[in-house]
Structure 1
């Protein structure tokens, strides 16, 4: 049956290609031999700690992943116990399929990163060899250390001299996010730490309502926020307390749902942003979570004056943590909101749909349809998805 289905699918694909008819999917959805191996199975130690219900869910996920691996080449080569821990938390088949694709992309990026690092190490070896043959007064090593010291000094001075605003990330939402949402937020927090450390005008960066004892938070630190466990990383300052208990200065909580706009960014004030990303729907987070957090703490809530300076033609007005921090940094430096928005807001948000590359949009639609077809075939084999908590 599968061989026949493959033949029909290939024939339809070739006929449409020959007639130059637009394809529904980015590639024909075919049946392949299973890519599942023992590297994808959870360890006996992991399984021994699960409840009977969780073990049943593992069996169900193994069946799903076997079919995923047979229908799509975008499939990870292995699954770690930490990946299984995340999969058990995911409640829908579609989300588990998306998690499988995410792990595949992660493997590709890690492999590319390893190649870049090896190329960098090789370059340093050549530089060192050249340095021995042609010595100079300043070695690349000393130049690197001088740059690192300069960055460290900028951050320390921001705290000591209080000559830059306090930027606080409210982390109370982290353990309520979905696994994917939590991972995306952690990635942005990591970017935020790096960007702030490398900036010539760093914030006094704080993470508040950050519960280090929470298992989900510890998992993030282990896999995505390793810099927080690094004793050499000075920034940010971590606190389990709420912002009202940490800061004495005036606190302004940034929320897109606030009624009043932020007018300026001053060195003697605290600006709080919620640790949430908008790329995935979060059922455990209220739609106006940041505004509710501000009202609950009885602090000022303000929104960025985006509508006044930017004509959004597509995409979401809910900006990333990195974009918000960069807008605040730019306004603090020169006070020009228009210029700050131009620097921080992606160009794709100010272009209408008709201005964007139609080929790229068509390709994205075909990818979406390919994934939908994979899920339809899995449903035909295993039955409708039963949402499990």
Structure 2
């Protein structure tokens, strides 16, 4: 610890005055004895190095997981760089915090409901109008019936299938090689995209293509996309899933285009393509453009520069917003300006000089990145990691 203090005194000053972790919480961060016992010599060496790094991270880090399962340790050993390990551990910490927040809100709602029912039961016992299960009942909205909602959603999809609406091909060929936090983020986007598409008056037809591994993608979908892990999947029409390529799946007679921010050609005017392909990826390394070229599909970028003054932040749209843009452009017969303005966050349309809030966000983000870099350097120095 003296060695650490010598190189990084600013981080040592952040050390908690007293240990806030009980023995139980410390044990929750360790793998099981069976996990360690089953490691081969090479894996054991990786584990010892990773455990040493994690000890310092859990002691000095700001975002530390509440628990580390054997599966989490296994993934940690698969990362080759310390930067990726720290990013994964912080992702787990944020995930734990969000889950605890949901659990707390759920418990509060249950408590409030029980208190309400107790109050209503007392009214009912006194001859008043007490409402609740077993008491007086209000007429329920038939639209709240999940089965009816699913049937209505499925019927709208079927109507779209009978029309000439464009299809959206969601290319999953990159999903298996992504970082876990990116997979989780894209899974959330797919969930919201399906939800908004079902809620639309005229939903688009969606299909998942180029599945790299059926079992892997099925597990990812069941875990990240609620529609595929729900109880009533058979009551609506969910997007199809296939390991086939785009042209093989849709056929040679379809007019197919690929959307990429790095394409030279610009998509504008009414949509006359039969199939619009989207790479389910963060696209940090131009994966979309590479996929389009390998599949010999023409690539287009959206006409941001023609209709929008994009002033701050990266120029891309989350998948729910992107699909909404295509739907609105199709319904309006080519009004890209309206569709883009309806689906671009306002923070991208103002400069940082115009917003004090954005300034403060940038300051906090930079401070967080500097703090993270300092922590990684400290772990490298203390453990002798290159």
Q: Please, what TM-score do these two structures have when normalized by structure 2?
A: 0.81
Give the structure 2 partner of residue 345 of structure 1. Answer: 344
**Contact preservation (8 Å) 2:165, 2:274:** no
Which is bigger in relative contact order (C-alpha 8 A, separation at least 6)? Answer: 1
Please state if 1:134 is matched with 2:136: yes
Give the structure 2 partner of residue 22 of structure 1. Answer: none
**Contact preservation (8 Å) 2:65, 2:93:** yes
Residues 301 and 376 of structure 1: is their aligned pair in 2 closer, same or farther, counting only changes over 3 Å?
closer
Q: Which runs of 5+ in 2 are unaligned?
A: 121-129
How many residue pairs end up in the alignment? 359
Residues 292 and 98 of structure 1: is their aligned pair in 2 closer, same or farther, counting only changes over 3 Å?
closer
Say which of 246, 252, 255 aligns to 2:257.
252
Give the structure 2 partner of residue 193 of structure 1. Answer: 194
Deviations 1:117-165 (A, max 9, x none): 44555677758972454333x3157634344443333233323x23532
**Contact preservation (8 Å) 2:209, 2:241:** yes
Q: Distance in 2 between matches of 1:130 and 1:227?
A: 33
Q: Which runs of 5+ in 1 are unaligned?
A: 13-24, 282-286
Give the structure 2 partner of residue 272 of structure 1. Answer: 277
Give the structure 1 partner of residue 267 of structure 2. Answer: 262
Q: Distance in 2 between matches of 1:123 and 1:149?
A: 32
Residues 158 and 347 of structure 1: is their aligned pair in 2 closer, same or farther, counting only changes over 3 Å?
same
Give the structure 1 partner of residue 123 of structure 2. Answer: none
Query: Cα offset for 1:219?
Result: 4.8
**Contact preservation (8 Å) 1:164, 1:267:** no
Q: Please, what TM-score do these two structures have when normalized by structure 1?
A: 0.80
Please state if 1:312 is matched with 2:323: no
Q: Distance in 2 between matches of 1:83 and 1:266?
A: 44
Give the structure 2 partner of residue 16 of structure 1. Answer: none
Residues 227 and 362 of structure 1: is their aligned pair in 2 closer, same or farther, counting only changes over 3 Å?
same
SS at match of 1:37: helix
Say which of 231, 239, 242 aligns to 1:239.
242
Residues 142 and 318 of structure 1: is their aligned pair in 2 closer, same or farther, counting only changes over 3 Å?
closer
Q: Distance in 1 between matches of 2:37 and 2:343?
A: 48
Please state if 1:64 is matched with 2:53: yes
Q: Distance in 2 between matches of 1:41 and 1:141?
A: 50
Q: Distance in 1 between matches of 2:20 and 2:218?
A: 34
Deviations 1:289-309 (A, max 9, x none): 222222222222221111111
Residues 184 and 293 of structure 1: is their aligned pair in 2 closer, same or farther, counting only changes over 3 Å?
same
Deviations 1:293-329 (A, max 9, x none): 2222222222111111112222212332223212112
- Mean CA deviation greater in 144-153 or 88-97: 144-153
Please state if 1:37 is matched with 2:17: no
1:175-186 residue pairs with structure 2 within 5 A?
175-186=176-187
Query: Cα offset for 1:174?
Result: 1.3
Query: Cα offset for 1:114?
Result: 2.2
1:211-222 residue pairs with structure 2 within 5 A?
211-213=212-214, 215=216, 217=217, 219-221=219-221
Q: Distance in 1 between matches of 2:101 and 2:218?
A: 27
Deviations 1:21-73 (A, max 9, x none): xxxx9x95326649572222233444455443222212211111111111134
Give the structure 1 partner of residue 156 of structure 2. Answer: 154
**Contact preservation (8 Å) 1:151, 1:199:** no
Q: Distance in 1 between matches of 2:50 and 2:270?
A: 49
1:295-310 residue pairs with structure 2 within 5 A?
295-310=293-308
Residues 244 and 95 of structure 1: is their aligned pair in 2 closer, same or farther, counting only changes over 3 Å?
same
What is the root-mean-square deviation in Å for CA atoms of aligned residues? 3.3
1:3-152 residue pairs with structure 2 within 5 A?
29-30=14-15, 33=19, 35=21, 37-47=26-36, 50-119=39-108, 130-131=131-132, 132-136=134-138, 138-140=139-141, 143-145=144-146, 146-152=148-154
